[in-house]
Structure formats: C-alpha cells, structure tokens
Amino acid sequence: MKKIVECVPNFSEGRNKEIIDAIAQAVRDVPEATLLNVDPGESTNRTVFTFVGNLESVVEAAFQAAKKGYELIDMGKHRGAHPRMGAVDVVPFVPVANVTMEECVECSRRFARRVGEELGVPVYLYEESQDQAYRKALRDIRSGEYEGIKDKITRPEWKPDFGPAEFVPRSGATVTGARFFLIAYNVNLLGTRNQAHRIALNLREQGRGPDEPGRLKALKGIGWYLDQYELAQVSMNLDNYQITPLHTVFEEVRKDASELNVAVVGSEIVGLVPLEAILMAADYYIEKENLLITDEHAKVRLAVERMGLSSVSPFVPEERIIEYMIREEGDRLVDKTVEGFVSAVAARTAAPGGGSVAALVGALGSGLGAMVGWLTYGRRKFEHLDEQVRSIIPVLEDTRKELTLMVDADTQAFNDYVAAASMPKNTAEEKAARHAAMQEGLKNATMVPYRTMEIADAAWDAMLDIARIGQFSSRSDVEVGAKALETAVYGAWRNVVINLPLVEDEQFRKEAEKKAEELYNRARKKLEEIQKLLDSREGDA
C-alpha cells in the first residue's frame, strides 16, 4: 500500500505572488510530490503550502521549496501579523496513509540535516522529533520571534539541532518536526483585535498563564484584526482535533462572543482538513438539531453551513478535504464502474476474488435495507413509525459504507501476502524474514474477511426491524437484502476457512475458526427469522 506523508510548510511571504508561485513550482517540479493547496494571507504576510508524497519525494519537495524560499525572502524586510522566526518558518511532516509517526520523524530529521549542512540555515526540531521537553512546543522555540534570534541562538540551551549556531539575517531560523494533523482555524468576529484576543485567552490551553489556564485542551490561539476583510479573528491551531473538535471550538467562541455582545460571522480553515474532523462537526449538529442525514456529502455541506466555512472564501470540499484531494480516480476497486469491477473479478488474476465479492454483496444487501427504510420514512401513512425508522437507517447506512471499504481491503490483504511471498530467500536471514512476513500476511488475509463477517453481523437487528415495520410493498427488496447479507457472511466465512490451515499460530487458528463459524450460523438463523417475519405480514399487502 502506498505510503503518504503530508508536509505543510509555512513561508513568511503572503503578498508577493511571484515569490509564492516560485515556491509552489519548486514543489511541483519534484516527481511523485503533489501540491494540494496554496493559502496566502495578506495581513499575516504568510503562506501555507500543502503537499503530499512518499517518504523520499516529500522530503525532496520540502527541501527544494525551502531552498527557493531562502533565496527569495528577506526576513530583514518582513512585517506581518503572524508570529514568525524565519523565511521558512515551520515545516511539519504529518502521517496520512500507511506511515508511522517514527517515519515522519525521520523525514523531518533528513530535511533538517540537509537544510543545515547544504544551505547553512539553523534548524530546530519540535513536537515528536524533539527529545528535550522544553524545546517541543513551537511557541517556546519561536519565543522572541525573528527579532530575538540574534541573542537567543548564542545561548547553549538554544543551540540549533542542525546548522550553524549563528544568526542568519536574511533567512532567520526554521523549525521542523513530525506531528499529528494540525488544523489552522479562524473564527470571524465583527469586533476588535482586543476582543478576539480576549476570547483566545479564555479558550487556548495555555490560557493567561499557569495560574489561569484556558478551557480547551490541545488548542493554541491569539486574536488579531484583518484589514483586508474588516473583521477580527480568533486565530487558533487545533493540535489534536480528536481531543478538541472543530465544532467545539466554534461553539465556544460563539458563547464568549455572545457574552461580549460581539457578532460571529462564520469561520475559515487555513489549508486542508481531514474528512473526519468535518464529519465530527456534522454529527454534532445532526444530534443537536435532531436531523436525519447519512449521506457523506450532505454531512459535509451541513458542517460547512453551520460553521460558516465559506464566509471569507468559498470552502470547496474537493479542494480542501485532504482525503478528497489525494484520492486518485480509479485507484480503488469501488471507484470502478459495475462493468469494470465485474471484468476485474472475471480476469485471469487471483484478486479481486471471493472476499471482495462477498463484501460488495453485503454492502448491496444493507443498502437495500436502507432503501426500504428511506421509502418508509417521511410518508404520511407511516408517520407513526418515523422515530423507529430514524434509528434503523443509520445502522444500515453505516454497514453499507463499512462493507464497501472491505471490498478493497480484502484484495489488498491478498496482494500484501503475495508481496511477502515474493521476498528474497537467498540467506537464512532472508528466509526467516520472508516466513515471518508470510505468516503475518496470512493472519491479515484471515482477519479481513472475518471483519467483513463482523460488520455484516452488526446489521441483522436493523434488517429485522425494517422487515417488521418497513413498507410491505418493498418486501422483495428486504428479502433480497437479507439474503445478500447472509451470502456475504457465507463468502467471508469461506475465505477465513481457506487461509487457516496455513497459519502456524494454533491459538489464533482455533479462535478464528470457532468465532467465524458462530457468525455464519447466526446469519443463517437471522435470514430464516426475517423470512418468517415477512411471511407473517401477508395481511399488510
């Protein structure tokens, strides 16, 4: 599977289009690196670039962009609202897909070493790349900003991790490291800088100091005023959106602004954002407003509307959500046309095979159940069932989405096993490594279809409920859906069973065999139960 690392360097230039374009081109010129977003800020005089690549290309792109930035940006002339200490201010590496944090740490160290040795710029490590606690936080490293580096860099405790321990007037200093996905997020106020900063102090984890911490964890923030938009902003970095989500930050700013009699007029995300963060916000508003929305794109639209993410500039999901940006057309089996998928199954290759087909059949089955739910929901004659149907549809929709993901997961598991079998076996060490990788691959190829069984199993109660109360004119759809769900469990079960004899871990083998058989027997019983239930409703026709 492809390894994808995101890099989000911040350059101290947000006004000169020629310089910004030159830096962007330096990234584009690196093979296998993809520039996703360029977000300049005139008042902050700062531009955030976002690009992705593999472990090698992302470091090369970061280096070439930095080299161009040092060449074109003179920090001695820089003025802007955002804190900064260098022409290339901060260069974070973020794991996106199939990459560990440790690998991103190594990316940052390779970048820092090259910048220090080849370009002669002092570089500091931060976050996960920094071993010393007092130098982990960006705010501590950047304290004093560019103007303070001249004295700070000569102190032993602030010697750079790479590069010269001396002030470079034109370039300043650079910070790099590996970190969790950071979201740069601003909430707009029709107020003053002081009011925005007051709210930031209330919310940010650091607060006003050790004796007066803020309300929200993993949040940094300041307040400023943007002349270009004629509004103030509470400007924040969410260090971990799973600890403090976007919607929480927005609602807390609204709360404090209301107490100050200041109007909130939307918000903006600088750079890209993970899909999960947007969907978390959507789920919050869905629950708060008692809505029934299951479609992903509708959820995204709800979050954008509720938080006013298009208030400063249009929030185009395909250009701002990182999963949408890196998804390649046709990259997944489920992106193919029906004809394309069926042809791939029928081709003279071992994958996609029965496991992927089983997952797709299950997705279609739960999709049929959801369809009957939607056909029942909201109709006057079934209005008394609305509350029950509202609880059924999301379960079947979630099952459909999860089983759809398993279509590619099953084929990938097989391909990973084949890759392990292709490892060299010329020496005893190579043979041992190959054997271990093949055994791990077999376990994974077993657990993926087992997971398909678990996902499908979780839908039975909802399928039973829709068989009990769904519009009876769609009886055949429920029957086909239930049979498809049972077929998915059967197909996945057979894929579990065929792999087990080759697995040497006896405890793993016995447990997987026992649990998988139990899930299949349960599926058979549930299918029979649904059929009997539908037969008993003959009078509803």
Which residues are known catalytic residues?
Answer: 82, 410
- How many C-alpha atoms does 59 have within 13 Å on its Cβ side? 17
Interior angle at CA 387, CA 458 and CA 392, nearest 5:
15
Strand partners, 58: none
Measured distance CA(512)–CA(528) in Å, rounded:
25
**482: CB partners within 8 A, 6+ apart:** 365, 369, 463, 467, 526, 527, 530, 531
CA distance 99 to 33: 16
- The vertex-200 CA angle with 198 and 202, nearest 5°, equals 70
- The closest alpha carbon to 451, from 414, 483, 411, 492, belongs to 492
DSSP string, 169-206: TTTB-EEEEE-SPPEEEEEEEES-HHHHHHHHHHHSTT
Contact 160, 206 (CB under 8 A): no
8 Å CB contact between 462 and 436: no
Q: What is the DSSP letter of 160?
A: -
Q: How far is CA 173 from the centre of its chain?
A: 30
Task: Give how far the C-alpha of residue 336 lies from the chain's centroid of Cα atoms, to the nearest Å.
Answer: 23
Q: Is 422 strand, coil or helix?
A: coil
